[in-house]
Structure 1
Amino acid sequence: MRRRFAQYRQTGAYRDGQAVLGFVVIALLFALPILNQNRMVLGVDAFFHLHRFYDAAMQLKTGQFNYFVSLFGFNQSGRIVNAVYGPWFAYLNGLLLLLAGSWVRWQFWSNFIIAFGGLLAGYLALRWAHVRRLYSVAGSMIMVGSLPGLSWFANQAFMSVGAMFIALAVGSGIRMLQQPNRPINPWQMGAVMALGIQVHMLSTLFMLLVLVWFALPAVFRAKRPVLMVLNGLLAAGLALLLSVNVWMPFLHVNMGNRLLRPFIELRGDIPADTLGFTWDGSHNLSLIAMALIVIAVAVLVLRNQCRPRLDFTTQWTLLGGVLLVVAGSQLLPWRMIMKDADNWLSTFQFALRFGIPGLILIVFGLLLWLQQQPIAASSGMQVATLATGVLAMGMLFTPMTDKMATQSDLKTVVGLTAYTRPKLTVKQLVADERRTDLSRLMLDGTQNYPDYLPISKKTATSLTGKDWYTKNGLDQAYLRDIVLNRLPKMKQTVVDGQLHLTWQAKRATTVTLPVVKYAETTLSLNGQMLDKVKLSRIGAPVVKQQAGRNTLILGYQTPGWLPTTQYVAAISWGLLAFGAVVAQLRRFYKEKE
């Protein structure tokens, strides 16, 4: 037994296991401030995602399912969010919320899972790029502890969740240059892209950008370029198969409606939100991140003086990272670029987002460069690199713990774009974060983001950046028509996957209902189907109520192909996971022999 264990300790699986165990400990320590303070960090996007996960949790708890419309979250408005924004990931978070039992415990476990997932994904991606284990551990900590990590742990912005998949895409991209005999592993690349689509579509655009960046030179360096292209197409087909449950409903909703896209921050009449520097990273770039960028530029500028000579893969990786960081900074004239609000770049919303894949590329490139240096084998350099990773993780504590410490009034507790109920105090809010009654926190606040609401053709064609967060903005219309629109003696219930809204009226008049109607939404008012109904700017139906009791039933015409997409995606993931386990076991026993 001891001999077998001694043999096992010499295998790569044992050393990888040590790294994974270390990541578990780091992630637990990282999530501990939530448990110690027993209060949540509510950043600028917090309530938007809390309502998403609450809706999924209540559907799981009650068995009242509707894949498209929100029956419990978003003020029970029938709004479509989860179906176009990672539905399976929302249900997983809903399940986690039910298991945790309270919002504050959910945030502890979600922070742990995301920190662990980010560390593990970064480690795997660096190993794919043939970076040594110890440097891979340090690199994963630097990535999670810098700009990619900050956006979730401090602000609950989903880009940092997607960043773990961007790292995997970078690892797959570097493989294209390092392995000219077989540049693309279609199973690996297809699974990585599918994960990105399942969780965060915007991150998938950056993943695609990264893969294209590496594919451009790789196709000319490949020994069999035709096979590389075929494997790339196979990877794309696999990604679509594994994510069919996301993109088919997404296309279904978009083809039937003109959906309001998320807030356009990149517009020509205001300064773009670009990368900024503070020593602790509380405004995107920490001292460590800035140092890495400076070193990357220096390595590129002095590449001809490097000994040994800088290889093409490292140069190309660093160049891509530096260009993306420049794209996310004030070095580009964003106000001039974005004079046209319909510019395709507005899809990315914030200029600073280019810095996320940029910084990931720089970490990969610098580690590839470092391990080529003679000093890389010295224990001093290994300890220094690992210490940098630990410091990066430690510095991420500062924005999170500072936010908790300064939560003395409501304005510092929740994001500026959130609406909170009148007379709500911090004490009440914190108490509701700890309650087992999950609905209490949902009553405390909501995010008045009008994302994915159905708008008219006239509104869509005249859309500008001024339609958000101004006096007459669509967010204010949503606040007025949905959030604050409480009808007399209004009651909302869910029956058979449909939303039932009842209220009392003194006389027959025209009224705007606090629900949202999409093309496939069905409305029945007082027993009569409403085929044609007037809608407000954000899709709220305007109807004529009768005197006395009124009942509205909101449903959704779910397409018949929806269950098939779920089965196909689930079975495909199951088969892929089974194949991966078999391949890993074969590799393990081969290594053991």
Structure 2
Amino acid sequence: MFKFSSINNSRKQIFQAIIMIGLLSFLMLSPQLYKHALIVSNDFLFHMNRFYDLSQQLKTGHFNYFQSLYGFAQSGRIVNAMYGMDFAFIQAIILAIFGTWFKFQLVSSFLCFFVSGISMYSLTRYAKVDHSYSLVAAIFYMSTSTIAYYALVTNFSGWGAAFLPLAFLPVVYMFQNKERPIKPLLLGIPIALLLSVHLFSTVLAVLALIPFYIYTFFTCRNKLVMIKDTLLAIFVAVLLSANTFGAIYDLSGDDLISPYAVKDMMANSTSFSIGVPGWATLGLIFSFLFIFQAVSTGVFWKQLSHFERLLNSVGIFFLFLSSKFVPWNSIAARFTFIQSMQFPQRFVCVACILLLLGWAIRMQKMSENPSINNQSVQRIAMIFFATLALISCNNINLQISSSSDAWSSDQPIKDKAATIIESDPEKIRQAFGGNNPLGTAFKAVDKSTADYLPRYTDEQFKTYGTYAEEILQNEVNVTKKITSDNRIELTWENKLPNDTTLLPVTIYNRTSVELNGKKLSKERYEVSNIGSLIIKAPKGENTVVVGYDPSIIFKISIVIKVLSLLVLLTYGVKAFMKYSFKNKK
């Protein structure tokens, strides 16, 4: 069994780690700062609509958990309720504080790098790895493509990966405590945190924890206690994520359009490479590091502890899953539901965490080995790997610099990243900057996405094109405003009596519709394939008010979530005070 050495986790070392991780996070982003460039990429407009909607709700005081009152063309479509509402709210606060898209993107990207580094450092230190090796592992992790692609293309799995190392704290605890291997809060809180950020990252965490759990269960002395603590951990995660599950229940009566399926999965799987890291390439440094770790695991298998064997084996397995060694296209052709996973390269973030942790533990053990207890050798090894980590950060710096150049070009936004409304590049830049309101940007460019729209037909149709036609490019001259009770009011004029109009607003199963002050039953109106309201109205000016009526189950879930957070906060304050009092003694 691997013996976790007792290393003093001093405040000075923690401070050094925070400063170094913060400095490198800033340096990786620095080209974007001095070029004063916005990086508008594939997913930027989708997520910015989410955050803009909530930031405006904060500013105006008009709160609606489900409907988009300000984002997504004020269409009332539901996104945040299904896509990490809690974390979107935090991002909205950042946007409201800093007030411009440029400042927001810089701060949000900086925090993603910083959190990823701190999370990885915390994991390695919790495994009792020396400060220096922990810091190098953290620098490696924060410079992986998985993290960097939030800054480069606003891929939100980067934020999920930033918190993912925390989900493996319970793994370390399992091997430290054989009598009672599961600590409910230590397992439940990270899972709840991931649920509030990125659902697929939560799935990855659970899948990766299963092998460790099975091994621990069969070696545990008290299996009943372990089962009880596991159920408590699940209970904690559910309580802290009650609003998420409540929203899913509320929308279970709707057939929602899933994020698009990727047909060419092989193009989005990982491969070893000798250049800089990319979307589907590991790059020279991480190719070397992971191959080195895999080979050393095989060569030194008998010398490794059970913990190291399992850690490296699971890491190698997830690296294999993410790779082109798996015939993903052939598998997806047989089992089409796999295409909804979209990108096999997402598995690589688990491999990064586990293999880096395995590497750090291996380096720690080598430094403690009397047969190679040579300070010169240890220093050379440390300098070598620290240099690789810094070069890896420099690679990200160069990629961000290259991506930043597009903003000052004649094509600041690529066509595939947005629906271009304003063709003049200078006007596009002005729409995103200066003293213009944040919403001005969406009048210059927008993104046609269909995620979580309701589907009202079994027939195949182009969801993105339909959304663009019915919502973004709707030709009806409609005036929209938000009512005092947080609903969307649409006013337009009919030139003919009983004229049928398709309005740019989305109707779900629990959506309420009023026409000229009278509530309509579902039989009184129709909806399009994606839920756009189709309604007959008299000649002249007409007003439709669209709201959302959440179920009692959802309302109860909000109460449970708030109470759970209050209990957790109280527990945390008491634990901190107890710890501080103990240290003073």
TM-score, normalising length: structure 2: 0.91
Encode CA deviations 1:426-464: one digit per residue, 9 max, x unaligned. Answer: 3222222223411111222222120001113624xxxxx
Q: Distance in 2 between matches of 1:38 and 1:333?
A: 42
Classify the secondary structure of the residue corresponding to 2:509. Answer: coil
* Alignment partner, residue 550 of structure 1: 542
CA deviation after TM superposition for structure 1 residue 59, in Å: 0.5
Q: Distance in 2 between matches of 1:571 and 1:21?
A: 35
Classify the secondary structure of the residue corresponding to 1:338. Answer: helix
Aligned pair in 2 of structure 1 residues 457, 125: CA closer, same or farther (>3 Å)? farther
* Alignment partner, residue 363 of structure 1: 356
Match of 1:85 among 80, 83, 102: 83
Q: Does 1:498 align with 2:487?
A: yes
Q: Distance in 1 between matches of 2:454 and 2:194?
A: 25
Aligned pair in 2 of structure 1 residues 581, 121: CA closer, same or farther (>3 Å)? farther
Classify the secondary structure of the residue corresponding to 1:256. Answer: coil
Please show how residues 356-505 of structure 1 align to structure 2 within 5 Å: 356-374=349-367, 378-407=378-407, 409=409, 413-414=413-414, 416-423=416-423, 425-436=424-435, 437-456=437-456, 458-459=458-459, 472-488=461-477, 490-496=478-484, 497-505=486-494
Q: What residue identity is the alignment partner of 2:479?
A: K
Aligned residues of 2:265 and 2:342 also touching (Cα < 8 A)? no
* Alignment partner, residue 310 of structure 2: 316
Classify the secondary structure of the residue corresponding to 1:524. Answer: strand
CA deviation after TM superposition for structure 1 residue 241, in Å: 0.7
* Alignment partner, residue 292 of structure 1: 289
Aligned residues of 2:513 and 2:546 also touching (Cα < 8 A)? yes
Match of 1:522 among 496, 506, 512: 512
Q: Distance in 2 between matches of 1:318 and 1:45?
A: 33
Structure 1, unaligned runs of 5 or more: 1-9, 460-466
Match of 1:568 among 555, 560, 581: 560
Q: Does 1:56 align with 2:48?
A: no
Aligned residues of 1:146 and 1:286 also touching (Cα < 8 A)? no
Aligned residues of 2:147 and 2:162 also touching (Cα < 8 A)? no
Q: Does 1:76 align with 2:41?
A: no
* Alignment partner, residue 145 of structure 2: 147
- Work out the percentage of aligned pairs sharing the same amino acid: 26
Please show how residues 256-335 of structure 1 align to structure 2 within 5 Å: 256-265=253-262, 267=263, 271-276=266-271, 277=273, 279-284=275-280, 285-304=282-301, 309-335=303-329
Q: What residue identity is the alignment partner of 1:428?
A: K
* Alignment partner, residue 187 of structure 1: 185
Encode CA deviations 1:229-265: one digit per residue, 9 max, x unaligned. Answer: 2211111110111111222112211x12011111111
Q: What residue identity is the alignment partner of 2:17?
A: A
Q: What residue identity is the alignment partner of 2:351?
A: G
Aligned residues of 1:169 and 1:210 also touching (Cα < 8 A)? no
CA deviation after TM superposition for structure 1 residue 411, in Å: 5.2
* Alignment partner, residue 4 of structure 2: none
Structure 2, unaligned runs of 5 or more: 1-7
* Alignment partner, residue 344 of structure 2: 351
Q: Distance in 2 between matches of 1:432 and 1:113?
A: 25
Please show how residues 106-185 of structure 1 align to structure 2 within 5 Å: 106-185=104-183
CA deviation after TM superposition for structure 1 residue 524, in Å: 1.6
Encode CA deviations 1:32-79: one digit per residue, 9 max, x unaligned. Answer: 333322221112110000000000011111111111010100011000
Encode CA deviations 1:187-240: one digit per residue, 9 max, x unaligned. Answer: 111110110011111111011111112111111122322222221111111011
Aligned pair in 2 of structure 1 residues 241, 260: CA closer, same or farther (>3 Å)? same
Q: Distance in 2 between matches of 1:262 and 1:479?
A: 16
CA deviation after TM superposition for structure 1 residue 362, in Å: 1.4
* Alignment partner, residue 5 of structure 2: none
Q: Distance in 2 between matches of 1:431 and 1:233?
A: 53
CA deviation after TM superposition for structure 1 residue 541, in Å: 1.9
Classify the secondary structure of the residue corresponding to 2:488. Answer: strand
Aligned residues of 1:38 and 1:434 also touching (Cα < 8 A)? no
* Alignment partner, residue 16 of structure 1: 14
Aligned residues of 1:167 and 1:360 also touching (Cα < 8 A)? yes
Aligned residues of 2:506 and 2:530 also touching (Cα < 8 A)? yes
Aligned pair in 2 of structure 1 residues 12, 408: CA closer, same or farther (>3 Å)? closer
Aligned residues of 1:39 and 1:434 also touching (Cα < 8 A)? no
* Alignment partner, residue 201 of structure 2: 203
Aligned residues of 1:282 and 1:399 also touching (Cα < 8 A)? no
Query: CA RMSD of the aligned region, Å?
Result: 2.3
Classify the secondary structure of the residue corresponding to 1:515. Answer: strand
Classify the secondary structure of the residue corresponding to 1:184. Answer: coil
Aligned residues of 1:11 and 1:591 also touching (Cα < 8 A)? no
Q: What residue identity is the alignment partner of 2:298?
A: V
Q: Which moved more, 1:384-393 or 1:442-451?
A: 384-393
Aligned residues of 1:177 and 1:221 also touching (Cα < 8 A)? no
Q: What residue identity is the alignment partner of 2:401?
A: T
Aligned pair in 2 of structure 1 residues 410, 518: CA closer, same or farther (>3 Å)? farther
